[in-house]
Structure 1
Amino acid sequence: MAAYIDVNNPFAALKSKNFRYFWIGQCISLIGIWLQNTALSWLVLTLTKSAFLVGLFNALQFTPQLFLSLFAGAIIDHFPKKKLLIITQSLLMIVAFLLSFLIWTKVINYPILLVFALALGIINTFDMPARQSFVIELAGQELLINAVALNSLNFNLARVIGPAIAGILLKNVGMGVCFFLNGLSFIAVLIGLFLIDVGLKPLSETKSRGMLKDILEGLKYTKNNRVILQTMILILIMNVFIMNFNVLIPLYTKYILHKDEAGYGFLLSSMGIGALSGALFCCLYKQKTCFKKIVFFISDVFP
């Protein structure tokens, strides 16, 4: 007999063992990713002292997503997401360890960083949609909204913690340790993925169709669905005009505010506080006794 799950519980999705393994691993890994992201922009600025070259680095990092994302989505539908995530997360771990090694050996330079930016962009093009769609398999339709809210909470909590830690480490220890800790953080994700049991079969319906047909079908659906189309346009506007903080904040910190690495980290962390508040609201919305439910939930899931 299936266990009853209270969908009104703000942390209901964590009662799913598979989702809990995934979520805990992401808790650790996302902090590591923000450690690396914070250090990367500061490293590029330190090496080049050029706003244009910092912008070029970030542009190269996201260019693969612009050209490959449609194909990546179709490819992901044809393969087991768990297996894909094990591959992409392992590759991201290797990149992080390589970066830390090159920094500690003082071999790192701007052209090498451009190669790593391109590699990160290609890997993330497959990793991000696979991770996001994997949540559906882990939580199911009933708990999907709660699982998405918890993922957002996870991401934005890391946005607060990660850059603050990175700023302190950059100032007192050095850049290499940020990348090394990020590499270690992927171990938690990989352990969680190996513990998850959802089967390794891809979606049978998509396997029989061609990739180009999948892409055209997705574009047609987006065009005909007004809500999705408006959402896509909004995301486009945000990405073009708002999501440039990786370029602007290190420059603003160093040349306008005249702050050091710690100031840069805390400035980045402050951006996550508002987003974290929104994610908490989504998790706890309409929960009249949310704190009592949190206590009861923790005692149920972690006896």
Structure 2
Amino acid sequence: MNVFRSLKYRNFKLFFYGQSISLIGTWMQKTAVAWLVYRLTGSALLLGVVSFVSLIPSLILAPYAGSIVDRHNRYRILVITQVTSMLQAGALAFMILFKIYNIPAIIGLSLLQGIVNAFDITCRQSLMVDMVDDKSDLPNAIALNSTMTNLARIAGPAIAGIVLSAFGEDVCFFGNFISYIPVLTCLFMMKLNTIVPVRSEKSIWTELQEGFKYVSGDPDLSSMILMLAASSLFVIPFNTLMPIFAKDIFNGDAKTFSWFESAAGLGSVVSAVYLANLKTNKNLVKIMSTASLIFGISVLMVAYAGKLPFALVFMVFTGVGMMAQTSAINTYIQTHAIPAMRARAISYYVMAYQGMIPVGSLMAGWLAGELGPRRAVCIEGIIGVLATALFVLYKRRQAAGESVDGKTALAK
């Protein structure tokens, strides 16, 4: 099938299968941590804090991580980050097994995972180009990677809901710990012809400046990254409040919360499969704009859904919009950035995506405390729609300006 064409490459196939298992464990742990914190504290603000510390390192470290990845062997960095993540999951599992319900410790381990992820995500994304021999299949590989991520987003919370109800949080954390064994096995089986970069004489700070000048100097790349930053800051964090919707608004339990995550994951898979089937990447800007509008409107619908089934249906559409938005921007950057700047361009994508979400999560938690969860989510949906309108207006003006410049050049 055309949609699976990237799996013909051995390295990408090993990466795909190993990550498929590991990401299910990651989502099990993510769901269990959110439920555990809210069960112990009942605090919307602390939910935001946990999300904040797990993602804020990406805002601070992502550009630095991009420069590090560009200077060193990406494969070795990936192995190191995966081993460290495995140890973090094991520490969390043992802590909960022995009933050490220490919120500061949970926050500390979440911060550690965030630091590792700042390097891991940049490295994984930039290494993908080395796993696909025919570069025309790179957009398909990116879309399949997103499909895998979002299938895990369905399976992980669904399994976590069952495990949480039957056994408890510690089993979820041990499940994540064990899930790193297949991904490390697959990494060791890969045979990558990664080019180890020549040791740069430039300082990291100089390379950081070069990366910023490159991204900010390209209006197409910078506008896409700014749109993602706005979405990550004001819209995507609505998901932080879903434990409150599940427990307090719809009077549910851990299983109910897992349905919210799985519903969004289902929508994400639909988008990912659509993107994987694309034969060209020429319409990525239009796809991103449409997806952003769908995302903003569906968040608005979730805010005031009167019954649980309606809320879950709208959650599916939030997954459709968010997945298509982020994946289209990711693909655009990877296919348009020059090779020497790819990791640094991706690092700004990671910073705009993963780095802004924690700040937004704190804002969402504060808004929910001040105005209530429904109004907080409503405000986020409105901002999403307005941001999309501004982006579309900017692109139209840009296109009009280019058309005028083209006619002027022809006249001369």
Q: Normalized against structure 2, the TM-score is what?
A: 0.65
- Check whether the contact 1:85–1:127 (CA below 8 A) recurs between aligned residues: yes
Partner of 1:270: 263
Distance 1:262 1:285 in 2: 35
CA shift, 1:216, in A, is 1.1
1:279 to 272, 279, 282: 272
Partner of 1:118: 111
Partner of 2:98: 105
| 1:235-292 deviation digits (Å, cap 9, x = unpaired) | 11111112214520111111111101111101110011111101111123469xxxxx
Q: How does 1:246-257 map to 2 (within 5 A)?
A: 246-257=239-250
- Check whether the contact 1:19–1:135 (CA below 8 A) recurs between aligned residues: yes
Moved more, 116-125 or 195-204: 195-204
Identical-pair percentage = 37
Partner of 1:299: none
Letter matched to residue 220 of structure 2: V
Greater fraction helix: 2
Matched, 1:142 2:140: no
| 1:210-234 deviation digits (Å, cap 9, x = unpaired) | 2122211111111121111111111
| 1:54-87 deviation digits (Å, cap 9, x = unpaired) | 1112112212111111111101111111111111
CA shift, 1:41, in A, is 0.7
Distance 1:62 1:14 in 2: 30
Distance 2:62 2:3 in 1: 32
Letter matched to residue 183 of structure 1: F
Partner of 2:175: 181
Partner of 1:296: none
- Check whether the contact 1:77–1:202 (CA below 8 A) recurs between aligned residues: no
Other structure's SS at 1:142 match:
helix
Partner of 1:225: 218
Distance 1:286 1:166 in 2: 36
Distance 2:32 2:6 in 1: 33
Partner of 1:169: 163
Distance 1:88 1:266 in 2: 30
- Check whether the contact 1:92–1:123 (CA below 8 A) recurs between aligned residues: yes
- Check whether the contact 2:140–2:277 (CA below 8 A) recurs between aligned residues: no
- Check whether the contact 2:139–2:276 (CA below 8 A) recurs between aligned residues: no
Partner of 2:382: none
Partner of 2:186: 192
Matched, 1:39 2:27: no
Letter matched to residue 164 of structure 2: L
Letter matched to residue 275 of structure 2: C
| 1:144-174 deviation digits (Å, cap 9, x = unpaired) | 1111011011111111111111111111111
Partner of 1:16: 9
Matched, 1:258 2:251: yes
Distance 1:210 1:109 in 2: 41
Partner of 1:133: 126
Gaps of 5+ in 1: 1-7, 288-303
Distance 1:171 1:243 in 2: 27
| 1:173-198 deviation digits (Å, cap 9, x = unpaired) | 11111111111111111011101111
- Check whether the contact 2:25–2:176 (CA below 8 A) recurs between aligned residues: yes
Matched, 1:58 2:51: yes
Letter matched to residue 157 of structure 1: L
Letter matched to residue 136 of structure 2: E
Distance 2:86 2:236 in 1: 25
- Check whether the contact 2:158–2:262 (CA below 8 A) recurs between aligned residues: yes
CA shift, 1:207, in A, is 3.1
Higher relative contact order (CA 8 A, sep 6+): 1
Partner of 2:283: none
Other structure's SS at 1:258 match:
coil
Distance 1:218 1:283 in 2: 29
Distance 1:52 1:160 in 2: 26
CA shift, 1:200, in A, is 5.8
Distance 2:74 2:140 in 1: 21
Distance 1:214 1:278 in 2: 35
2:229 to 224, 229, 236: 236
Partner of 1:301: none
Other structure's SS at 1:252 match:
helix
Q: Normalized against structure 1, the TM-score is what?
A: 0.88
Gaps of 5+ in 2: 281-412
Letter matched to residue 273 of structure 1: L
Letter matched to residue 176 of structure 1: D
Distance 1:278 1:247 in 2: 22
Partner of 1:91: 84
Moved more, 243-252 or 36-45: 243-252
- Check whether the contact 1:79–1:201 (CA below 8 A) recurs between aligned residues: no
Query: Taking structure 1 as reference, are residues 23 and 201 closer, same or farther at Cα in structure 2, changes over 3 Å only?
Result: same
Other structure's SS at 1:270 match:
helix
- Check whether the contact 1:47–1:109 (CA below 8 A) recurs between aligned residues: no
| 1:20-40 deviation digits (Å, cap 9, x = unpaired) | 111110111111111111111
Distance 1:119 1:260 in 2: 28
